[in-house]
Amino acid sequence: MANIIEEILKLIPQKDKISDTSFEGANIILYTKDKDFFLNNQSMIKGIVDTIKKRIELRPDPAITMDVEKAEKKINEILPKESGIGNILFDPQRSRVIIEVEKPGVAIGKDGELLREIRKQCLWVPVIRRLPALRSKIIENIRAVLYQHSDERRKFLDKVGHRVYDGWMRTKKEEWIRLTYLGGARQVGRSCLFLQTPESRILLDCGVNVAASDQNAYPYLDAPEFKIEDLDAIIISHAHLDHCGIVPFLFKMGYRGPVYMTAPTRDIAALLALDYIGVAFKQAKSGIFDVNDVKEMVKHTICLDYGEVTDITPDIRITFYNAGHILGSSLVHLHVGNGLHNLVYTGDLKCIATRLLDPADTRFPRLETLMIESTYGGKDNILKPRLEAEATVIQAARETLEAGGKVLIPVLGVGRAQELILIMNEAMETGKVPHCPIYAQGMVWDVTAIHTAYPDFLGRDLRKSIFHNDKNPFLSPNLRRVGSRKEQDEIIKQDSPCIIIATSGMLTGGPSVEYFKQMCDDPKNTLLFVSYVGEGTLGRRIQEGERRIVLTDGERPEELNIKMRIHIESSLSGHAGRTELMRYIQNLQPRPKKVIVNHGEQSRCLDLASSIHKVNRIETEAPKNLETIRIR
Q: Which residues bind Zn ion (CB under 5 A)?
A: 240, 348
Which residue, 204 or 427, has its beta carbon nearer to Zn ion?
Answer: 204
Between residues 240 and 333, which has the closer beta carbon with respect to Zn ion?
A: 240
Spatial distance between the Cα atoms of 288 and 293, rounded to a whole number of angstroms: 10
Tell me the helix, strand and coil percentages in the chain, rounded to 5.
40, 20, 40
In the complex, the smallest distance separating the C-beta of residue 348 from Zn ion, rounded to whole angstroms, is: 4
In the complex, what is the shortest distance from the CB of residue 208 to Zn ion, in angstroms, rounded to a whole number?
12
CB atoms inside a 10 Å sphere around CB 365: 11
For the stretch 554-559, contacts whose Cβ atoms lie closer than 8 Å and that sit 24 or more positions apart, written own/partner, are 558/517
Residue 412 C-beta: closest distance to Zn ion, Å = 8
Please say which residue, 126 or 413, places its beta carbon nearer to Zn ion: 413
Of 24 and 373, the one with the shorter C-beta distance to Zn ion is 373
Inter-CA distances, 59 with 66, 120, 495, 615, Å = 13, 12, 61, 54
Smallest gap from residue 191 Cβ to Zn ion (A): 9
Judged by CB, which is closer to Zn ion: 195, or 323? 323
Task: With residue 511 as reference, give the H or E element that holds it.
Answer: helix 511-519
Q: Measured from the CB atom, is 96 or 325 closer to Zn ion?
A: 325
Helix (H) or strand (E) holding 31: strand 27-32
SS3 annotation, 235-253: ECCCCCHHHHCCHHHHHHC
Alpha helices in 366-435 (DSSP H): 386-402, 416-429
Compare residues 25 and 378 and give the one whose CB is closer to Zn ion.
Answer: 378
> Measured from the CB atom, is 37 or 321 closer to Zn ion?
321
Least Å distance, CB 105 to Zn ion, is 31
DSSP 484: S
Q: Which is nearer to Zn ion, 38 or 260 (CB)?
A: 260
Q: Nearest approach, Cβ of 592 to Zn ion (angstroms)? A: 22
CB-wise, 293 or 348, nearer to Zn ion? 348
On whether the CB atoms of residues 218 and 242 are closer than 8 A, the answer is: no
* Beta-bridge mates of residue 489: none
List Cβ neighbours of 622 (8 Å cut-off, separation of 6 or more): 185, 186, 596, 597, 598, 605, 606, 608, 609
Q: Are strands 619-621 and 594-598 parallel, antiparallel or unpaired?
A: parallel
Q: Taking the CA of residue 33 as centre, how many other CA atoms within 13 Å lie in the half-sphere pointing to its CB? A: 4
Minimum CB distance to Zn ion smaller for 96 or for 240: 240
Distance from C-alpha of 209 to C-alpha of 125, rounded to nearest angstrom:
43
Q: Is the Cβ–Cβ distance between 205 and 238 less than 8 Å? A: no
Residue 168: CB minimum distance to Zn ion, A: 36
Cβ atoms within 10 Å, residue 41: 20
DSSP state at residue 169: T
Distance CA 502, CA 537 (A): 16
In the complex, minimum distance from the CB of residue 357 to Zn ion, in angstroms, rounded to a whole number: 12
Supply the minimum distance, in Å, between the C-beta of residue 467 and Zn ion.
27
Beta bridge partners of 589: 363
Residues 6+ apart with CB under 8 A from 406: 400, 492, 497, 498, 499, 500, 519, 524, 525, 526
CB 410 within 8 A of CB 504: yes
Q: Between 60 and 183, whose beta carbon lies closer to Zn ion?
A: 183
Q: Which is nearer to Zn ion, 210 or 520 (CB)?
A: 210
Task: Return d(Cα 243, Cα 246) in angstroms, integer.
Answer: 8
451/439 Cα distance (integer angstroms): 17
Cβ proximity to Zn ion: between 373 and 390 the closer is 373
- DSSP secondary structure, 176-210, as one string: --EEEEEE-SSSSS--EEEEE-SS-EEEE-----T
Which CB, 415 or 509, lies closer to Zn ion? 415
Whole-angstrom CA distances from 163 to 94, 180, 194, 385, 439 are 20, 23, 19, 48, 47
* C-alpha torsion sign, points 214, 220, 224, 228: negative
Q: How far is the CB of 320 from Zn ion (least distance, A)?
A: 15
Residue whose CB is less far from Zn ion, 94 or 240: 240
Residues in CB range of 530: below 8 A, 6 or more apart: 393, 409, 411, 416, 420, 569, 570, 572, 573
- Say if residue 282 is exposed, middle or buried (CB neighbours under 10 Å; 0-12, 13-18, 19+): exposed
DSSP per residue, 529-561: E-S---TTSHHHHHHTT--EEEE-SSSS-EEEE
Burial 2-21 (b: 16+ CB within 10 A, else e): eebbeebeeebeeeebbbeb
